[in-house]
Chains A and B, each alone.
Chain A
C-alpha cells in the first residue's frame, strides 16, 4: 500500500525534475560532481539521503528495488531504506541481485556482474576525493577544472616511500575516463575493479554535500597507481565459513573471548546463492 498524502517516491515533481536534469549532466560528464539542490529528507543526512533522492528520482512502478548496506540486505539501515521506498512507491523489492533493476548500496558493489538493465545507486558521504588533502571546496573545484591532481599523486607516492605501499584501503580514488578524479564512495578497494567498464549505469548521490555524479556504462575507471606499484585489490586471505568462497569479500567475526576469527561473505545474496560449504581450491 502506498503511503497516503505523499507523491510517488516521496519527492515532489519539481525536486525530481531538478535531480533528473542534474543526473543527465552527470552522465554527460563522467566522474564530475554536479551540485544539486539536495532536499532535507525524513532520514538523517549521512544515512543515505543522497542515494535515496537519486533512487526516488529514477524509480518507477515497473522497477524492482534491492537495498544493501555493507553488502547485506538485512542490515538495519538497508531494511529501513527498503521499507521507506516500499511505503512511498509500492514497488517490488528483492534481495536477489539478478532480479533487481535498481540497487541502492552503501559501502559495497555486489559480487555478481551487473547487467545493462540495472542501475547501481551509491550512497556517498564525501563526494570530493581530495577532501582530506584540501578541505576547501572552492579550491578542489579549481583543481578539477584544471585536472590538477598532483596533491593526490604526491600523497600516494609518500605512502609508498614511507610504508612500501599505498595505505588507502577503502574509498580508493579512481580516474574516470582519464579526466576526472572521483571518489568511488567508501567501498573497499577490493571492489574498485568492478567499476571499470561496468555494463550497468552507476549513479552516486551525496545528500549532505549536495552533489551527485555518474559513471556511464562501459566507462574506463582506473584506480590510481604507479607502474612499479600497481593497484592490488585486497581481501582477507580466508574462506567464507558458510559457502566456502575464496573469491568474495569477507566480513571478519570474533566468535569467542579467545579472539577466534571467522569469515563470512559480506554479500549475503552471493553467499546464499552458492551451494553451502564447498571449499574452493585455494
Chain B
C-alpha cells in the first residue's frame, strides 16, 4: 500500500520549496513545512516533503534504508541508486554517511555536488552551535540532536573544500534547517 504524496502537487511543492529556499538562504534557521505528504517509514514528514519537492526522473536518489523506495519512485519517478557516491540527492534515515564519501563537485562545476538530507532527532533554535557566513546577519544558534560525534570535524573539512562540498538539509518531524557548504560552525 503506497501512502499519499502531496495533496496539491503544484502548490504544496511550491510552498515547501520556499521553506527550503529560505532555510538554505538563512543557514540554521528552523522552518516548519507548511504541507506534508503521508511519509512512509522510515522517512520523516519533512524529509519526504523535501524529496517530493526536489527530485524527479532526472535526479537519482540514494536511500540508506530501502523501505521507502517504492513510495518515492511512485510519487517522484526518480531512479533509486545503489551507491551514494555519485548521486545529486542522498537521504540518511539512520546513520549519516561520511560527507567525504558523497559527490563533492569540481572546482569548475561545484554545483554538481550532492545535497544530503539527514533525519535527526530534534532541531532547536537559540542554543547549541554558533553559525556564521552568508545568509547570517550576526550569528545563528542551532542545536541538532542525532548527528555523529565527529560531525563538526567532518563539517570543517567540508567547509575547507569550498567551493566544492556537500550541502545539508536536516529534517526532524515536520521541521528542517539547512547547512549550505558556505556556513562556518563553531561549538556553542
A28 touches B180 (CB 8 A): yes
Q: Does A252 contact B (CB under 8 A)?
A: no
Provide the bound-state CA to CA distance between A146 and B106, in Å: 11
Q: Which residues of B contact A27 (CB under 8 A)?
A: 21, 24-25, 135, 180
A40 within 8 A of partner (CB): no
Chain B residue with Cβ nearest A143: B108
Other-chain residue from A21, A35, A177, A217 in contact with B54 (beta carbon distance below 8 A): A21
Q: How far is the CA of A201 from the CA of B11 in the complex (A)?
A: 21
Interface flag for B150 (CB, 8 Å): no
Chain A residues near B57: list those with CB within 8 A: 14
Known: A7-B10, A217-B26. A23 touches B111 (CB 8 A): no
- Is A216's CB under 8 angstroms from B25's CB? yes
The residue from A8, A177, A199 contacting B134, defined by CB atoms under 8 A apart: A177
In contact, B137 and A32 (Cβ under 8 angstroms)? no
Which residues between 1 and 42 of chain A lie within 8 Å of chain B, taking CB atoms? 7-8, 13-14, 16-18, 20-30, 32, 34-35
Within 8 A of A (CB), among B149-180: 162-163, 167, 180
Q: Which residue of A lies closest to B10 (CB)?
A: A8
Q: Is A152 an interface residue (CB 8 A)?
A: no
Cα(A204)–Cα(B13), bound, Å? 22
- CB-CB contacts of B34-64 with A at 8 A, as 1s and 0s? 0000000000000000000111111100000
Q: A21-B59, A32-B163 are in contact. Are A177 and B10 (CB under 8 A)?
A: no
Contact across chains for B15 and A216 when beta carbons are under 8 A apart? no
In the assembled complex, A218 has its CB within 8 A of some CB on chain B: yes
Which of A13, A28, A216, A219 is in CB contact (< 8 Å) with B9?
A: A13
Q: Look across to chain B and name the residue whose beta carbon is closest to the beta carbon of A141.
A: B108
Beyond the given pairs A24-B21, A219-B134, 5 more chain A to chain B contacts, judged by CB atoms under 8 angstroms and listed by A's residue number, are A30-B182, A58-B18, A179-B163, A216-B135, A216-B182
Do A29 and B111 contact each other (CB < 8 Å), given the known contacts A14-B56, A24-B24, A218-B136? yes
B181 within 8 A of A: yes
Chain B residues with CB under 8 Å of chain A are 9-11, 13-15, 17-18, 20-22, 24-26, 53-59, 88, 106-108, 110-111, 113, 115, 133-137, 162-163, 167, 180-182
> Which residues in window 195-248 of A have CB below 8 A to B?
197, 199, 201, 214-219
Instruction: Compute how far the CA of A201 lies from the CA of B18 in the bound complex, rounded to whole angstroms.
Output: 12
- Are B137 and A218 touching (Cβ within 8 A)? yes
Q: What is the CB-to-nearest-CB distance from A115 to chain B, in angstroms, rounded to a whole number?
A: 12
Complex contacts, B108 vs chain A, CB 8 Å:
141-142, 144-145
A219 near B111: Cβ-Cβ < 8 Å: no
B137-A21 in contact (CB<8A): no
A-side contacts of B182, CB under 8 Å: 28-30, 177, 216
Cross-chain pair count, CB within 8 angstroms: 108
Residue A150 lies at the interface, judged by CB distance under 8 Å to chain B: no
A23 and B21 contact, CB distance less than 8 A: yes
B residues in contact with A46, CB < 8 Å? none
A60 at the interface (CB under 8 A from B): yes
Query: Known contacts being A17-B56, A25-B167, A60-B14, is A32 close to B134, with CB within 8 Å?
Result: no
- Chain B residues lying within 8 Å of A144, measured Cβ to Cβ, are 108
A14 and B115 CA atoms in complex are apart in Å by: 18
A-B contact pairs, 13 of them (CB 8 A): A13-B9, A16-B14, A17-B56, A25-B167, A28-B167, A28-B181, A29-B181, A57-B17, A58-B18, A58-B21, A60-B14, A142-B108, A216-B180
At the interface, yes or no: A135 with Cβ under 8 Å from chain B?
no
B167/A217 in contact, CB under 8 A = no
CB-CB contacts of A57-88 with B at 8 A, as 1s and 0s?
A: 11111000000000000000000000000000
**Which residues from chain B contact A28 at a C-beta distance below 8 Å?**
24, 167, 180-182
Q: Which of A24, A35, A217 contacts B135 (CB 8 A)?
A: A217
Name the A residues within 8 Å of B180 (CB-CB).
Answer: 27-28, 216
Nearest CB of chain B from residue A129's CB, rounded to whole Å: 16
* Complex-state Cα separation, A214 to B167, whole angstroms: 15
Q: In the bound complex, do residue B134 and residue A145 qualify as a contact, i.e. CB atoms below 8 Å apart?
A: no
Residues on A with beta carbons closer than 8 Å to the beta carbon of B54? 17, 20-21, 24
